[in-house]
């Protein structure tokens, strides 16, 4: 397997290269680069199977490199920091990533996922989601939901609510559509924070745009525009009411 590492920090490139050499003998680093321009030249010349790509480079976003390549025929593992909007965009687009400083266990997990046979249509779908999310002025536009038999590209604005079911999450969408995915609601709460979905109960996320009214009886619950109702936890009541008020004046 041929790999290329594109990151503007030589120390990061050298760390990944050393870890690959020590722990992944079947992966050969064909080239390293420190910019979009250099990375594009390296990818064009070496045609890698795997690309480690920094999110932010001196001459643009790492994604700018991918936009110059069509179709993308390799797996991409993004390199990013902890506190970046881009990290949420990558997560909701179902793409692989490793965090700085580079950790061997995280690297191994990302590589093992990358070893799976690439489905070019699925990869293009993920990259389409990432493109829209990075262009969204720090408001996530699209999310990839992986079901048992497909990947679905969903507009965040179409999500009415999400409901926990053990380690599964049920998404209820506009138009009556329902999608179940095998990830916890806690993960989606983190991914979609700042995108209009708020936690109102241990088992429920709700899109502020679909709240019709707050009902005080029966301990308090939200009436949504699709006719459904969602309970509000007593300890979250004030936070929910404040979020509704703030949303009205945005």
Residue 24's domain spans which residues? 2-134
Domain count, the chain: 2
Residues 38 and 72 in one domain: yes
pTM for the whole structure: 0.83
Residues 84 and 180 in one domain: no
Residues 189 and 65 in one domain: no
pLDDT value of residue 101: 92
pLDDT value of residue 71: 82
- DSSP helix/strand/coil, 207: strand
Residues 163 and 226 in one domain: yes
pLDDT value of residue 250: 65
| Domain assignment present for 141 | no
pLDDT value of residue 135: 81
pLDDT one digit per residue (tens) for the chain, 250 residues: 999 999 999 999 999 999 999 999 999 999 999 999 999 999 999 999 999 999 999 999 898 999 999 788 899 999 998 667 788 889 889 899 999 999 999 999 999 988 877 777 888 899 999 988 888 667 789 999 988 888 999 999 999 999 999 999 999 999 999 999 999 999 999 888 788 999 999 999 999 999 999 999 888 999 999 999 999 999 999 999 999 998 887 6
Residues 218 and 173 in one domain: yes
Residues 7 and 129 in one domain: yes
Q: Which among 134, 167, 200 is the end of a domain?
A: 134
pLDDT value of residue 46: 97
């Amino acid at each position: 397997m041929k790999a290329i590492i594109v990151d503007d920090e030589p120390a990061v490139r050298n760390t990944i290269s050393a870890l690959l050499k020590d722990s992944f003998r079947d992966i050969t680093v064909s080239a390293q680069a420190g910019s979009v321009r250099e990375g594009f030249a390296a990818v064009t010349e070496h045609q890698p199977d795997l690309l480690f790509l920094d999110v932010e480079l001196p001459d643009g976003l790492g994604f700018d490199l991918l936009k110059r390549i069509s179709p993308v025929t390799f797996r991409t593992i993004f390199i990013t920091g902890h506190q970046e909007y881009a990290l949420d965009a990558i997560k909701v687009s179902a793409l692989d990533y490793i965090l700085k400083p580079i950790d061997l266990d995280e690297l191994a997990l990302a590589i093992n996922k990358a070893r799976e046979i690439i489905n070019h249509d699925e990869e293009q779908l993920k990259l389409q989601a990432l493109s829209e999310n990075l262009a969204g002025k720090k408001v996530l536009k699209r999310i990839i939901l992986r079901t048992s038999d497909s990947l679905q590209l969903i507009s965040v604005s179409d999500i009415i609510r999400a409901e926990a079911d053990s380690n599964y999450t049920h998404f209820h969408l506009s138009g009556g559509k329902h999608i179940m995915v095998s990830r916890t609601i806690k993960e989606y709460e983190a991914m979609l924070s700042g995108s209009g979905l708020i936690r109102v109960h241990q088992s429920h996320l709700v899109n502020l745009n679909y709240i019709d009214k707050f009902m005080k009886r029966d301990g308090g619950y939200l009436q949504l525009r699709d006719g459904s109702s969602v309970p509000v936890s007593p300890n979250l009541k004030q936070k929910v009411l404040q979020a509704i008020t703030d949303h009205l004046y945005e």
